[in-house]
Amino acid sequence: MRSPLPRTLRGQLTAGLVILLALACFTVGIITALALRGFLMGRLDEQLSASGGRFAASLEHEAEPDADNRPDTRGQAESTFGARLLNGAVTQAAVVDDATDHPLALASRDRRALAEVPADGNGHSIRLSALGEYRVTAARGDDQDTLITGLPLHPVEETVRRLEAVEAVLFSTALVATGIAGALWVRISLRPLQRVTAQATEVAGLPLASGEVAMPGPLPDTDPRTEVGQVGTALNHMLGHIEDALTRRQAGEERLRHFAADASHELRTPVANIRGHAELALRHHGPVPVQVRHALERINGESQRMTRLVDDLLLLARLDAGRPLEHEPVDLTLLILNATDDARAAGPTHHWLLDLPEEPVTVTGDAHRLQQAIGNLLANARTHTPPGTEVTVTLTADRTGVSVDVSDNGPGIPEELQPEVFVRFARGDHARSRSTGSTGLGLAIVHAVITAHSGTATVTSSPGHTAFRLVLPAGVVRPGRRTDGSGS
């Protein structure tokens, strides 16, 4: 069940303040009303005692009323009630009305209520059917009768209700004003915490996984005497450690990139020399022992593989260094057609299918690198799926961008390997990669090239279906027509 209280700290503090004030007002209101009612009851009892029961005593002479023995209403307030009981039965009852007495007919339950009033001279509250709530006192008369005098409670209740109404208005106004003022005060008091939250959110949105990261400056609210200041101090220390760790990591990555680039440059010449000498030896017209020829062929094959590895490392080093790519119109449809023809020639045992739009799609970018990225995806599908696999290349374009999907119905990529398919030197089968000459950099180059074009490369795979998707944003897409006259 969802709590009715707000979820934010500011809302909870404001709500708590208003709730506590409401409880205090409610308590004060109840105590004030009870105190006023008790005070008015005491005044009413004093007034009954001061009357001396004259009005009730005068009722015992009203059996034969005449001018000389009427009830004594002198000094009696209007609505004063009087009754005479003899042997527990009411013999006379009257009420003062406009300074005169007015005989009163009582119901049976009223008579029982009057008979139960103790003759102790203290005030008691009863309810009379015809008159309502009354405060009465009972005393013994001279004729062994009981004389009851009462005053209405209506003025007391009306005064208490009026006080309650005034308190309700005042307390409601105070609660509203306190709620508004409290919300503003809490908002001002929590500004340092909001700055802490904003900075933590900013840091959480930074690309901390890779690359150089510019950390925000330290928080100014670091007063150790406050809880928010303690949080700010801890956050500043944490951000300092994170920045130091990121700086060290970035320096290590830069050194590794420089090493890869320098090593690749240095390796190109000796690898090319080894390959050249091996090819030259294989062209020798004289008799060459079979074992020597086999060794030379192996040297030539491994040197070719080493050349591809060096070229891939150099390309990644250039992309990591942020070197600009070509920025020219590229007929993506023609590029896919050519890459698929190359894949079909390299893998005739696979079934290669195309799903292209009727109109050619032109983007702005580096044609050579884009063709290399698509070619790597097709080579990956050919290398890691058995003969007879269907590989489909789909090209779609709309206002949001263009996407190239390379899907196959092969065995799929194990789930635990999918997050690492674009990582450098990641391989699902090391033995197969060596036998096929794979460097483990093909998909890493795909990711780096597409990222350099401000796009994304993703993969989804399950048994019987694997799909790689390259997405280029709308900013690099523009309609175009091929200039070579070839169709799609």
Domains annotated for the chain, with CATH where assigned, are 1-50+155-189 (no CATH), 52-152 (3.30.450), 204-323 (1.10.287), 328-479 (3.30.565.10)
Average pLDDT, rounded, for the chain: 81
DSSP 14-78: HHHHHHHHHHHHHHHHHHHHHHHHHHHHHHHHHHHHHHTTHHHHHGGG-SS--SSS----TTPPT
Does the structure show a pLDDT above 50 at 486?
A: no
330 class by beta-carbon count within 10 Å (0-12 exposed, 13-18 middle, 19+ buried):
buried
Q: How many CB atoms lie within 10 A of CB 240?
A: 12
Higher pLDDT: 132 or 317? It is 132
% pLDDT > 90, the chain = 24
How much is the pLDDT for 67? 43
How much is the pLDDT for 442? 84
Highest mean pLDDT among 115-129, 215-229, 285-299: 115-129
Q: Long-range contacts made by residues 169-173, C-beta under 8 angstroms, separation at least 24? A: 171/22, 171/25, 171/26, 171/29
Q: How many CB atoms lie within 10 A of CB 105?
A: 8
How much is the pLDDT for 480? 40
DSSP state of 53: T
User: pLDDT, tens digit, for every residue of 414-464?
Assistant: 888 888 888 877 665 543 444 455 567 888 889 988 988 889 999 999 999
Which stretches of 190-331 are DSSP H helices? 191-204, 227-282, 290-320
User: Cα separation of 69 and 59, whole Å?
Assistant: 9
Report yes or no: 319 and 452 within 8 Å, Cβ to Cβ.
yes
User: Cα separation of 238 and 232, whole Å?
Assistant: 10
209 class by beta-carbon count within 10 Å (0-12 exposed, 13-18 middle, 19+ buried):
exposed
Higher pLDDT: 312 or 43? It is 43
Q: pLDDT grade, residue 477 (50/70/90)?
A: very low
Q: Give the pLDDT mean for 93-99.
A: 77
pTM: 0.49
Does the structure show a pLDDT above 50 at 346?
A: yes
Name the least confident of 140-154, 266-280, 369-383, 469-483. Answer: 469-483
Name the least confident of 22-26, 119-123, 409-413, 454-458. Answer: 119-123
Name the least confident of 178-182, 354-358, 440-444. Answer: 440-444
Query: Of 63, 67, 131, which is closest to residue 96 (Cα–Cα)?
Result: 131
User: pLDDT, tens digit, for every residue of 99-114?
Assistant: 566 677 888 888 888 8
How much is the pLDDT for 438? 58
Q: pLDDT grade, residue 74 (50/70/90)?
A: low
Pairing verdict, β 351-355 and 390-398: parallel
Q: pLDDT grade, residue 348 (50/70/90)?
A: very high
How much is the pLDDT for 378? 94
The residues facing 466 across adjacent strands are 408, 461
How much is the pLDDT for 63? 47
Pairing verdict, β 89-97 and 100-103: antiparallel
Q: pLDDT grade, residue 36 (50/70/90)?
A: very high
Q: How many CB atoms lie within 10 A of CB 266?
A: 11
What one-letter code names the amino acid at 270?
P
User: pLDDT, tens digit, for every residue of 184-212?
Assistant: 888 888 787 778 888 788 777 777 766 66
Higher pLDDT: 254 or 119? It is 119
Supply the Cα-derived Rg of the chain in whole angstroms.
50
Report yes or no: 295 and 242 within 8 Å, Cβ to Cβ.
no
User: pLDDT, tens digit, for every residue of 363-408?
Assistant: 888 888 899 899 999 999 998 899 999 999 999 988 888 999 999 9
Report the C-alpha dihedral over residues 220, 224, 228, 231, rounded to 10 degrees: 90
Highest mean pLDDT among 166-180, 208-222, 237-251, 317-331: 166-180
Q: pLDDT grade, residue 5 (50/70/90)?
A: low
Does the structure show a pLDDT above 80 at 482?
A: no
| Token output for 158 | 């009306």
How much is the pLDDT for 284? 74
% pLDDT > 70, the chain = 84
Highest mean pLDDT among 45-59, 118-132, 187-201, 310-324: 118-132
Q: How many CB atoms lie within 10 A of CB 487?
A: 9
Q: Residue for token digits 């030197």?
A: 425
How much is the pLDDT for 488? 29
Q: How many CA atoms lie within 13 A of 56 on its CB side?
A: 30
Highest mean pLDDT among 74-78, 135-139, 297-301: 135-139
User: pLDDT, tens digit, for every residue of 206-254?
Assistant: 777 666 677 777 777 667 777 777 888 888 888 888 878 878 877 776 7
What separation in angstroms does the CA of 203 have from each of 170, 241, 461? 48, 13, 32
Q: Give the pLDDT mean for 69-88.
A: 75
Name the least confident of 67-81, 166-180, 199-213. Answer: 67-81
